[in-house]
Amino acid sequence: AVDLLTFGESLVSLRSAGPLALGGALTMHLAGAESNVAIGLARLGHRAAWVGRVSDDELGEYVLRQLRAEGVRVDGVTTDPARPAGLMFLERRTADVTRVRYHRTGSAGSALSVEDVRTPIAEGARVLHLTGITPALSGSARDAATWAAEAASRSGTLVCLDVNYRARLWTREAARATLTPLTAYASLVIASADELDLVDEPGADESTVVARLLTRGVRTVLVKLGADGARAHTRQGVRHVAAVPVTAVDTVGAGDAFSAGYLSGHLDGLDLDGRLRRAVTVGAFAVAGHGDWEGLPRRAELSLLDGHETG
Ligand code: KDG
């Protein structure tokens, strides 16, 4: 069994340094919230597997090549002969504002189904990491996420759900209707403050959402606060961790890095403060470097940015 299993769609991301409408050079990168987390864990020395469908062409080969190069296990990946790669354009409009445009409807990745995840789930993992992006891709991907969450939680795998709302994929109402029931299988729920009511009633505040999740069996709720760090809620109470101060050059992927750091701490058996410290440390590496995951630390590098307090 692997330490971490995750599945979803990995995209070919084409990044422009300036306004897309002006054209110019694009650079090709691997993107995808779930594969970002898998890479984060693999860099830290954990056994991480990513499952999904890739196109049967150079772009699918690129996705697999990048993941393999990062040490992520891809034996469960299916190559789809009939569907194209999912693409995204990432436009850096100003230093602080990036815009995303997807070309992923009908993609290989969006055709993910229960059949794709059955074997990897049966093989087992210590942690199953799901994000709210996967169930937004298609009906079959939604079924796969729900089936896997249920099967994994039944077999004692820790199920982590990162809400990761993407407004370009679905409405808040649709996300809420799908993600709220998924939390029944999750031990760990991760959300930014503005995503919390996507696993509860519209407009519900943090304490209400947290109380309800903890009652439903979730053990830890992590609320990501960006430059203000994060809060962790458990039945024992709430902890706050400050962010590691760095010069932010690219915040895309920071949430995935935070999740990877927290899960790495869990796999290492760290206590809550240690897990949170690792989460904000890995998150800081992500925002301090360009790209979704390129700047993520290897284990020996963690100490470069670690060394702050929780309270
Ligand atoms: O978390 C970063 C992701 O948003 C990015 O890698 C692309 O998975 C992606 C998505 O669907 O937006």
Asked whether residue 153 is domain-assigned, the answer is: yes
Asked whether residue 257 is domain-assigned, the answer is: yes
**Sequence-distant (≥ 6) Cβ neighbours of residue 154 within 8 angstroms:** none
Instruction: Confirm or reject: Cβ of 241 under 6 Å from ligand 1.
Output: no
Instruction: Identify the helix (H) or strand (E) that includes residue 77.
Output: none
Q: How far apart are the CA of 86 and the centre of ligand 1, in A?
A: 11
Instruction: Confirm or reject: Cβ of 166 under 6 Å from ligand 1.
Output: yes
d(CA 292, CA 90): 11
Helix (H, G, I), strand (E, B) or coil at 230: strand
d(CA 282, CA 268): 15
Asked whether residue 310 is domain-assigned, the answer is: no
Instruction: Out of 116, 162, 250, 256, pick the active-site residue.
Output: 256
The pLDDT of residue 311 is: 44
The pLDDT of residue 307 is: 59
ipTM for the complex?
A: 0.92
Total domains present in the chain = 1
pLDDT by position in tens, the chain (length 311): 999 999 999 999 999 988 999 999 999 999 999 999 999 999 999 999 999 999 999 999 999 999 999 999 999 999 999 999 999 999 988 877 889 999 999 999 999 999 999 999 999 999 999 999 999 999 999 999 999 999 999 999 999 999 999 999 999 999 999 999 999 999 999 999 999 999 999 999 999 999 999 999 999 999 999 999 999 999 999 999 999 999 998 889 999 999 999 999 999 999 999 999 999 999 999 999 999 999 999 999 999 997 554 54
d(CA 308, CA 289): 20
The pLDDT of residue 26 is: 97
Closest CA to 99 of 88, 90, 108, 86: 90
Instruction: Confirm or reject: Cβ of 133 under 6 Å from ligand 1.
Output: yes
d(CA 66, CA 21): 28
Asked whether residue 288 is domain-assigned, the answer is: yes
Asked whether residue 157 is domain-assigned, the answer is: yes
Q: How far is CA 189 from the centre of its chain?
A: 12
CATH number for 80: 3.40.1190.20
Q: Cβ–Cβ contacts within 10 Å for residue 101, how many?
A: 12
**Sequence-distant (≥ 6) Cβ neighbours of residue 39 within 8 angstroms:** 48, 67, 70, 72, 260, 293, 296
The pLDDT of residue 260 is: 98
Parallel, antiparallel, or unpaired: how do β-strands 53-55 and 230-234 relate? Answer: unpaired
Domain that holds residue 144: 2-305
Q: Is 250 a catalytic residue?
A: no
Closest CA to 193 of 185, 204, 183: 204
Atom of ligand 1 nearest to the CA of 88: 7
